Structure 1
Amino acid sequence: MKELWLQRPFRWYWLGLFLSGLGDQMGWMALSWFVMERTQSPVAMGGIIMAYMLPAVFAGLVAGVLLDRYDRTKLIVVDNVGRGVIFFGLVALLQMEQVPRLLVYILVVCAGILSPLSSAGAQTLLPRLVPKKELLVKANGVMESQWQIVYMLGPAMAGVLIGWIGPAHVLILNAASFFVCAFCFSRLPRQLIAHQVQDQEASSGSAAKKVGPFLRSLLADMRVGYRYLFGRKEMLLLVIFTFLFNMGYGPVEVALPLYANKDLAAGPVGLGMLWSSLAGGALLGSLLFTAVRWKLATGVTLGGIIVLWGLATLPLALFTRLEVAMLAMGIAGLSFSPYNILYRSYLQNHVPDHLLGRVMTSIRTITGTGMPAGAAVCGVLIPVLGVRGLLGAGAAACILTGLLALVLLRGLDQQESLAVDQRGGDSLQPVGQEGVELGEERKA
């Protein structure tokens, strides 16, 4: 571990992502609070979330290609400088007497389009910064711990700062963190990424002159991923239930600021405590889950997790005490954290390595729309059901979805492996035992 921290490039990398992540956590909480104060519109709050997340999901398809063709460090710097300018612009727009919502949405969409350059780019850059395999494992462990710390500290710090200096100034701090991140990545030694640029320089130049073939190849790769997914019934069911689970999370994302402010009368500090409780529970849940040998079937476990999330968040609709809400959020985090571990491991074990990127990207365009879709629906339903009514409806929907998943996902571990017919490019066909790439021993 000491050898890792002695490497200056890694220290710049860690510092940039830590400050940017911390600023982003505070910034999004401040933005939702600012929009709530300035517009008093749940629809606007849901729209902001959807305007950021949906473009990020679909822009990721192109971001991966750009990161393979151009200097990854420069793309990360461009993203952070661009989003820093955007958040400064949001502060200015939200200060106006009549908030121009359309312009706010446009800026948020632009921020969402840029964001995959850093979220995906940072992951692809790390192996170049830490080429030793034994150190790379430790580096990934350090980065995972960093994100968990950010998720725990960010909301709590935001709650205190919003009450102290106001949401506008917290947004300014978020914008500044992007510029600091850009500076940190600009300090990475050129020789670490020079060979990437040299390898891709010719291909990127020719691609720029042949836009049509580039787009056709991109669409063809996307089609392979979708055809593989839709050819596997059990995997498709898993993706659908993950979409519904993400959608069921939408009420919490949209209603929690209103719940903390009106029902709990806890203000931004209380909101930060609720989010930190969720993050703390998730951290504890992931540590406990990885420490035990899990024997239940994957499908049963995933369905049970969805049910537990619904049961854990139900008290938010029934009680208006901060300590009860914090306990509920902590239990919710504890219950849902194993979901991503099992879900990703299942896909990695059942999708051939040469298709994993395309299949995962295709799946992300489906599951990634769940939360913003849920947030948008909730923005419309809050005036009808009220904040607590919406939270109760979301909890009930998760319970019912989880019970259905318990039945339909029971055969998840027994599904048949499929391979791509290399002659047809993107056609799929079942393969016999001699052609199965993921054997029985690889099942989750």
Structure 2
Amino acid sequence: MSESTSQAISRSPPRALTGRQRLLESVSALKQRNYRLYWTGQLSSVLAQNMEAVAQSWLVLELTNSPLALGLTGLMFTIPSVALTLIGGAIADRADRRRIMLLAQAGSASVFLLLAGLVIMNWVALWQVMVLAFFTGALRAFDRPSRMALLPQMVPKEDIPNAVAIGGTIWQLNKLVGPAIAGVLIYLFGIGLTYFVCFLASAGAISLWQAIRLEGQTAASTPSQGLMRDMVEGVRFIRENEIYWVFIGMTFFNSVFGMSYVIMMPVFARDVLNVGSQGFGFLQSAGGAGALAGVLLAACLSHFRAKGLQAIGGALFFAVTLVLFALSDWLTLSLAAAFALGVAGQFYMTTIHAILQMNLPNELRGRVMGIHGLAWELMPIGGLIAGAIAEFAGAPAAVSLGGIMVGGMAIVVGLLMPRIRRLEQ
């Protein structure tokens, strides 16, 4: 073939995709058998988690009638989940990630079954719930890095962004339906049987994940240098590689500053918009619907190459919308802004997750993705900061500051880091 002919072919416009082809491209990761099993198991596992959160809160409230006890029980889960994440990530890079995932899920299922028995037999006490919450948090610290690190081994590299985006739909769907299902089950059958349904959902995830068959290793092949050195190596890798510290930093900014509006939402409903609990429910639903739309949008654009611009642009849109939400005193505008915040937040967070997964060496995947996942455990810190500011300057000022912080970070990245801005996949 002559050079001129070759150049003519390379300049020819790409053939337009039909609607059916676009739809298939937006779910391309589901063509892989292992990923279908993983995704369906995740759907069942996350449903159990969301239902259990409602059941646990209601159980603690019935046992104590104390808001403080609710907070302490949540703290008992969070402490090991945060403290053990680095260890969990290091172990995910040393051991069989699929086996860790299965063992952690089996541990969670056992907790649900034990609580079901304790409640049904009327033997349950607050200390038991707290101890089991601590144990579940510890399991999560080992489970999360392994799940995240295993995902790229189930799809071709070009489908990793699509797999990440489709995986995000699981969390958003379950946020919408999981608590509602739990509420209905508690009302009709009681807390004990609700926990038993959580056990069945977890057992379903185990049976699906057991059918996953991966070629080659499911853990890193690099010899371990010792647990502490492995953890230090993961942190050093992030610090020395711009892509990772920038995008993980953007995730931390989103979690600590950007998501403060979620915690402040009741204040906006009651004191700013004057719409009460009903309006609060509408705002929550608008944000949830937007988040689901955001991950679907990310799935549709998962094969879009300019990932750096996609992440920076999404962060800027999120920041501007957050300030708009903070300054709005009109319910219709606030509902639209809440929906847009859900779209933008999930879209650019999903994009960042995909960027990290696409570029990570397999031998460091558990440690780095564990640290990335840790960012989401820091939302309560952002809520504490926003609450303190709101106490003195009002909720609109607190949330506006969050938007300014997220937007400022995005602008700095966009202007001063051309390698990130031009990043393509």
TM-score normalised by structure 2 residue count: 0.67
Aligned to 1:221: 234
Tell me how far 1:102 sits from its aligned partner.
3.9
Aligned to 1:84: 109
Q: Does 1:332 align with 2:341?
A: no
Question: CA 1:225–1:375 in structure 2 vs 1: closer, same or farther (change >3 Å)?
Answer: same
- The number of residue pairs the alignment matches comes to 381
Aligned to 2:7: none
1:233-312 superposed matches below 5 A: 239-240=252-253, 242-250=255-263, 264=277, 277-287=286-296, 300-308=316-324, 310=326
Aligned to 1:111: 136
Tell me how far 1:111 sits from its aligned partner.
0.9
Aligned to 2:75: 50
Q: Does 1:196 align with 2:177?
A: no
SS at 1:81 equivalent: helix
The residue type paired with residue 379 of structure 2 is: M
Question: CA 1:374–1:88 in structure 2 vs 1: closer, same or farther (change >3 Å)?
Answer: farther
Aligned to 2:347: 341
Aligned to 1:260: none
Question: Over aligned residue pairs, what C-alpha RMSD do you find?
Answer: 5.0
Tell me how far 1:411 sits from its aligned partner.
3.0
The residue type paired with residue 38 of structure 1 is: L
Question: CA 1:47–1:234 in structure 2 vs 1: closer, same or farther (change >3 Å)?
Answer: same
Tell me how far 1:285 sits from its aligned partner.
4.6
Distance 1:296 1:439 in 2: 9
Percent identical: 22
SS at 1:196 equivalent: coil
The residue type paired with residue 216 of structure 1 is: R
Aligned to 1:13: 38
Residues 31-70 of structure 1 deviation map (CA, whole Å, 9 limit, x = unaligned): 2233233322222223333333443244332223222322
The residue type paired with residue 307 of structure 1 is: V
Distance 1:298 1:13 in 2: 28
Question: CA 1:45–1:308 in structure 2 vs 1: closer, same or farther (change >3 Å)?
Answer: farther
Aligned partners of 1:300 and 1:409 also within 8 Å: yes
The residue type paired with residue 256 of structure 2 is: F
Aligned partners of 1:67 and 1:117 also within 8 Å: yes
Question: CA 1:155–1:309 in structure 2 vs 1: closer, same or farther (change >3 Å)?
Answer: farther
Q: Does 1:155 align with 2:179?
A: yes
Tell me how far 1:185 sits from its aligned partner.
1.7
Question: CA 1:44–1:248 in structure 2 vs 1: closer, same or farther (change >3 Å)?
Answer: farther
The residue type paired with residue 186 of structure 1 is: Q
Structure 1: segments with no counterpart, 5+ residues: 257-262, 316-323, 382-388, 418-437
TM-score normalised by structure 1 residue count: 0.65
Which of 407-416 and 12-21 deviates more? Answer: 407-416
Which of 290-299 and 45-54 deviates more? Answer: 290-299
Aligned partners of 2:311 and 2:348 also within 8 Å: no
Aligned partners of 1:127 and 1:136 also within 8 Å: yes
The residue type paired with residue 199 of structure 2 is: A
Residues 392-413 of structure 1 deviation map (CA, whole Å, 9 limit, x = unaligned): 9656521343246556764331
Tell me how far 1:167 sits from its aligned partner.
3.1
The residue type paired with residue 215 of structure 1 is: M
Structure 2: segments with no counterpart, 5+ residues: 1-23, 270-275
Distance 1:295 1:82 in 2: 36
Aligned partners of 1:155 and 1:276 also within 8 Å: no
Aligned to 1:29: 54
Tell me how far 1:83 sits from its aligned partner.
0.8
Aligned partners of 1:303 and 1:406 also within 8 Å: yes
